[in-house]
Amino acid sequence: MSEFSRRGFLGAAGVGAAAVTLGAGRSVAAEADNPAGLTVRGNEFLLDGKPFRILAGAFHYFRTHPDDWRDRMQRMRHLGLNTLETYVAWNFHQPRRTDKPDFRDWRDLVRFVEMAGEEGLKVIVRPGPYICAEWDFGGLPAWLLEDRDIALRCADPAYQRAVDTWFGELLPQLTGLQATKGGPIIAMQVENEYGSFGNDRDHLEHLKKRMRGLGVDSLLFCSNGPADYMLRGGNLPDELATVNFAGDPAEPFAALRAYQPEGPLFCTEFWDGWFDQWGGKHNTTDPVTTAGNVRKILEAGGSVCLYMAVGGTNFGWWAGANRTGTNYKATITSYDYDAPISESGRLTEKFHRIREVLGEYGSLPPGPLPADPPHQPAGKVTTTASVSLLDSLDRLGKPVRSAAPLPMEKLGQPYGVVHYRTTVRGPLGKQQLKVTGLGDRALVFSDGKLLGTLDRTKPDTGVEFAVEGESRTLDLLVEATGRVNYGQEIVDPKGISGQVMFGPQALFGWENRGMPLEDLSVLRFKPGGSATAPAFHRATVDVGTPADAFLALPGWGHGMLWLNGFSLGRYSDRGPQVTLYAPGRLWRRGSNELVVMEWERTGKEIEIREDPDLG
């Protein structure tokens, strides 16, 4: 019996006699008499030996407060789904190399999977190590970038060692939850849309071997876009190939069938919405058309996973970015995705239209639909205290000396801000100050006075100044706005990874200060809101009954907002996102603290709104 038929396409328990044909006409004998877990017979899935159609939805545990996990799962069941699909974000569990991977509280993946099973949902896990997902660095930990020679997503020994260690921590927690052991996990993915990136078969085989060696005996699959090069570069010959797309399924399914003549048709990501980027438009899809294309998938005999079923939030610094050359675009904080179940758990028109379709192909739970989560009444809050960021440097980080500037990752920092300081000796006439390897945006100060802003999207733009006397103190505050999460340019260090040039000369002798801004209790606010940007501003708001709220910052420029010490994410007047989602679970009865870190322009108020505004 081949490795494919014994453990791959069918799962380890398969016994029996169906013929399965894969990619380029390859065919093997598959056995499935009384298998446990998810297996394949011809063009259909079997679950514990019985025909099973996967009606799945993507729900990312790292994008929803854990106290709301069960609520969202119940809403998924009412949508008509029988399976939950999730990525695993490596960097969410191990942001620093020196950290032991964290699987507690918000990161309790085992509890998330168990809870899904309790709510009647099977689970598909996509463990990475790369996930894309519009998540910072595609889920890879920033500390991989400490080694500039490492090659990512290929059979590079250094990369493989790091992945092997991570999988050694992650996968043993999941193997006992597989359907082959009586648990809810029915399948796992090998890598993620790899054909969009490369064609290293050894890389994929290594991941598969590691997964099998650690006890994964569930069905494995590779998902890719429908282009021929994606399917050929991103699949393994002995594992199920699936396809990701939006719109009408006819052409993508035809492409999948041309590559894999026999096997279940499975759209592992049906893009029922899309993500947004700062400075762009808010993307939506028509509910009726979207539901109609779901119907076409099911009429073709296919299985489907709605991406996304549950909208979420890129809290903190976790939003990713896309880049082509100098065209860098950061993803917004909201990951609502125009999903059937919104970022705050509301049931949308798309929910009802898709539910009508899914109800014809599966069972719907009895009883009324869940009500929308409660929200706070509208109101306005005024900041009452502030403190300058430059005046808080010693409280926010410790300086490290170096000849050339150090990128954020060399400072052992996964996200946040980096401060750079040097002395420019004079006298010197006016010159242009420019930065190579800027990630992503820098405010430039001379002797404490703001000179201007540098942006990676405008590499030819500099800041001009002169050194009239013996010297000037030069400060650069560099903000990270999201590591690239897709494509060939995912190596995207933050801070400064090149040189600071003043005219034709590189400046040396730097003080580097990493500021992850994880603990704002060290700040010493002063009454009044007069601190000049960049600065922190504090407000307090009394709440009777904690509930969801949507916070807007009219008149402010761009920055970060914290609620009771938890970062709700970035805001920006560039849009399209206007409000930040503040889950009810983060509010306290009585007094609550809001802190705004504003880079450019201070507003007067923070608005509490009853409804989201994503543009």
pLDDT, greater one: 29 or 461: 461
> In angstroms, rounded to a whole number, what is the distance separating the alpha carbons of residues 608 and 553?
9
- Is residue 32 predicted with pLDDT exceeding 70? no
* Mean pLDDT, rounded, for 333-340: 98
Minimum mean pLDDT range among 34-43, 177-186, 561-570: 34-43
520-561 residue pLDDT tens: 999 999 998 789 999 999 999 999 999 999 999 999 999 999
* Residue 74 phi, psi (nearest 5): -65, -35
Q: What is the mean pLDDT of residues 378-395?
A: 97
3-state secondary structure 340-355: CECCCCCECHHHHHHH
Q: What are phi and psi of 425, to 5 degrees?
A: -80, 140
Is the pLDDT higher at 182 or at 12?
A: 182
**Non-local CB neighbours of 231 within 8 Å, separated by 6+ positions:** 23, 195, 224, 225, 241, 243, 255, 256, 259, 260
Q: Quick one: pLDDT band at residue 1, thresholds 50, 70, 90? A: very low
- Looking at the domain that runs over 390-515, which CATH code has it been given? 2.60.120.260
pLDDT value of residue 19: 32
User: Mean of the pLDDT values across residues 85-92?
Assistant: 98
Contacts of 545 (CB under 8 A, 6+ apart): 374, 589
Question: For the domain 55-358, what is the CATH superfamily, name and number?
Answer: Glycosidases (3.20.20.80)
Mean pLDDT of 242-259: 98
List C-alpha distances in Å: 411 to 95, 323, 495, 518: 13, 24, 10, 15
CB 260 within 8 A of CB 38: no
Q: Are strands 500-502 and 558-563 parallel, antiparallel or unpaired?
A: unpaired
**269 pairs with which residues across the strands?**
244
pLDDT-derived band at 5, boundaries 50, 70, 90: very low
Model confidence band, residue 203 (pLDDT cutoffs 50, 70, 90): very high
Residue 453 and residue 493 in contact, taking contact as beta carbons nearer than 8 Å? no
Question: What confidence score (pLDDT) does residue 529 get?
Answer: 76
- The reported pLDDT for the residue numbered 35 is 80
**DSSP category for residue 429:** E
What per-residue confidence (pLDDT) applies to 33? 55
Judge if 55-358 and 379-388+534-609 fold alike in CATH terms: no
pLDDT band for 90, please (50, 70, 90 cuts): very high
| pTM score above 0.85 | yes
Q: How far apart are CA 220 and CA 213, in angstroms?
A: 13
Fold of 379-388+534-609: Jelly Rolls (2.60.120)
pLDDT of residue 418 exceeding 70: yes
Query: Rounded CA gap, 80 and 88, in Å?
Result: 24
pLDDT, averaged across the chain:
94
Domain boundaries, the chain: 55-358, 379-388+534-609, 390-515
What would the mean pLDDT of 270-289 be, rounded to a whole number?
A: 98
In the Cβ-directed half-sphere of 452, how many Cα atoms lie within 13 Å? 11
Q: Return the pLDDT at 528.
A: 86
**Positions marked catalytic:** 193, 269
**How far is it, in rounded angstroms, from Cα 595 to Cα 540?**
9
| Average pLDDT rounded to a whole number, residues 218-225 | 98
> For 214-223, what is the mean pLDDT?
98
The 3-state DSSP class for residue 169 equals helix
pLDDT, tens digit (0-9, with 9 covering 90-100), for 50-78: 999 999 999 999 999 999 999 999 999 99
For residue 34, name the pLDDT band (cuts at 50, 70, 90): low
Look at residue 244 and tell me whether its pLDDT is greater than 80: yes
Burial of 125-139, coded b for 16+ CB within 10 Å and e otherwise, reads bbbbbbbbbbbbbbb
Q: How far is CA 474 from CA 268, 450, 466, 508, in A?
A: 51, 10, 12, 11
Continuous segment of H or E residues that includes residue 126: strand 122-126
Q: What is the pLDDT of residue 22?
A: 42
Give me the phi and psi of 123, to 5 degrees please. Answer: -135, 135
